Amino acid sequence: MRDRKASNSTRTVHAGAKREKPNHALTESVVQSATYTFVDTRDLCDFMDAAALGRAQGRVEYGRYGNPTVAAAESRLAALEDASDCVLCGSGMAATTVTLLALLGTGTHVVITDDSYRRTRQFCQTFLNRFGVPCTVVPAGDYDALEAAIQPETKLLVSESPTNPYLRCIDLERFGQIGRHHKVTTIIDTTFATPLNLRPLEYGIDLVVHSATKYLGGHNDLMAGAVCGGEQLTGLVRQLLGVMGAVLAPQQAFLLIRGLKTLGLRIARQNESGQRVAEFLQEHPQVERVWYPGLRSHPDHSIARKQMVGYGGVVSFEVRGGLDDASRVVDSVAIPYIAPSLGGVETLIEQPAIMSYYELEPEERLSVGIKDNLIRMSIGIEDTDDIISDLEQALAEI
């Protein structure tokens, strides 16, 4: 797309897409092939020579190393992030783990913030440690602790913005400056924000990670992960991905492209609904606290205002009472489904204490910041007034 200043809705439909497509089709073709052929030996040798020089663009010999439909989706996401490259993987966790493994090695060290996705922290603290890569966890938003945790062996600073489930927002400019000062690569997961609400690369962050399963796909019908940034780093990720094989299938890439075309419309609606629902909950007598960066009461509101276009569709809140009271609210709503994940067109609701931390005792959950009365709600595209009315009747059950 020539006009880089086009609006978000226009960019989600056209950015990174080729005007001329095979067979004059309007939509991308699903190239359902695991292997690719060559005309003759000379054709194969020419390809191998070009590949050795990094010039075999648009051509692969095997599906683990690339696919035209996946490449089309990568091009679109790179354009939305204003990144020079994007690597798509089979899931958000695949994107995270392959990136960490590609950039770390025995004897190196990683620093991660505490309110990051639970599985990401588990991977850093347990799996990487088995291979001689220690991990230090620091509080999200404590930049003195972040800088103090950096060692000579530190290679990566990892965080999310907004985080899960308290939607803490990282000062990306400061985070990036700390990384550059210590010559440490910075990675930010912006699954909750999407490229429409936040672009970390503009603040000097090295790599951006997304669980494309969420808002980017937007319909709860695919799993995908994305890593966006400069080609020097994404090239390392792509190389390891080809070895590990956690690749995205072409049909999933097709669904992702379809989802991206409505991203602008969906995010606009979810930003609006998220703000209104958060404001309603903040005034409700049966709600103790609301975690939403669009509220002045949120500890990172000023940072979010400076960095974000909108604040997203995830609202976390603490009801008055305990685990059973929160369960009563969750069981009483009529519109949301009780389910994990987020970012789709349907509103979802869950208690993190039960959905993600069920195996832990209450004291253990509290030690990692998860309260029994906490509810996380991912707002879909239903009518906002209907969602608020539904919440109102459910909260009356406490």
Per-residue pLDDT tens over the stretch 253-306: 999 999 999 999 999 999 999 999 999 999 999 999 999 999 999 999 999 999
Task: Give the residue with greater pLDDT, 9 vs 294.
Answer: 294
Which of 85, 171, 189, 300 is catalytic? The answer is: 189
Indicate the CATH number for domain 8-31+67-261. Answer: 3.40.640.10
Q: Note the pTM of the prediction, 2 decimals.
A: 0.94
By C-alpha distance, which of 82, 5, 16, 3 is closest to 257? 16
337 is catalytic: no
For residue 2, pLDDT over 80 is answered with no
64 is catalytic: yes
Q: How confident is the model at residue 357 (pLDDT cuts 50, 70, 90)?
A: confident
pLDDT in the model for residue 1: 39
The β-bridge partners of 229 are 85, 207
pLDDT in the model for residue 267: 98
Which CATH superfamily, name and number, covers 264-395? Aspartate Aminotransferase, domain 1 (3.90.1150.10)
117 is catalytic: yes
* The domains spanning 8-31+67-261 and 264-395 adopt the same CATH topology: no
Which of 36, 46, 59, 64 is catalytic? The answer is: 64
pLDDT in the model for residue 9: 80
43 is catalytic: no
Q: How confident is the model at residue 53 (pLDDT cuts 50, 70, 90)?
A: confident
Q: How far apart are CA 288 and CA 249, in angstroms?
A: 44
pLDDT in the model for residue 189: 98
Which of 117, 166, 203, 311 is catalytic? The answer is: 117
pLDDT digits (tens, 9 = 90+) for 193-229: 999 999 999 999 999 999 999 999 999 999 999 999 9
pLDDT in the model for residue 174: 98
Domain boundaries, the chain: 8-31+67-261, 264-395
In this structure, are residues 135 and 124 in contact, taking their beta carbons and an 8 Å threshold?
A: yes
Above pLDDT 90, what percent of the chain?
85
Q: How confident is the model at residue 325 (pLDDT cuts 50, 70, 90)?
A: very high
Average pLDDT over residues 38-58: 88
Which of 214, 289, 365, 371 is catalytic? The answer is: 214
Above pLDDT 70, what percent of the chain?
99
For residue 352, pLDDT over 50 is answered with yes
Q: How confident is the model at residue 59 (pLDDT cuts 50, 70, 90)?
A: confident
Mean per-residue pLDDT of the chain: 94
For residue 356, pLDDT over 90 is answered with no
For residue 119, pLDDT over 50 is answered with yes
For residue 3, pLDDT over 50 is answered with no
pLDDT in the model for residue 56: 77
User: Which of 105-119, 266-280, 361-375 is the least confident region?
Assistant: 361-375
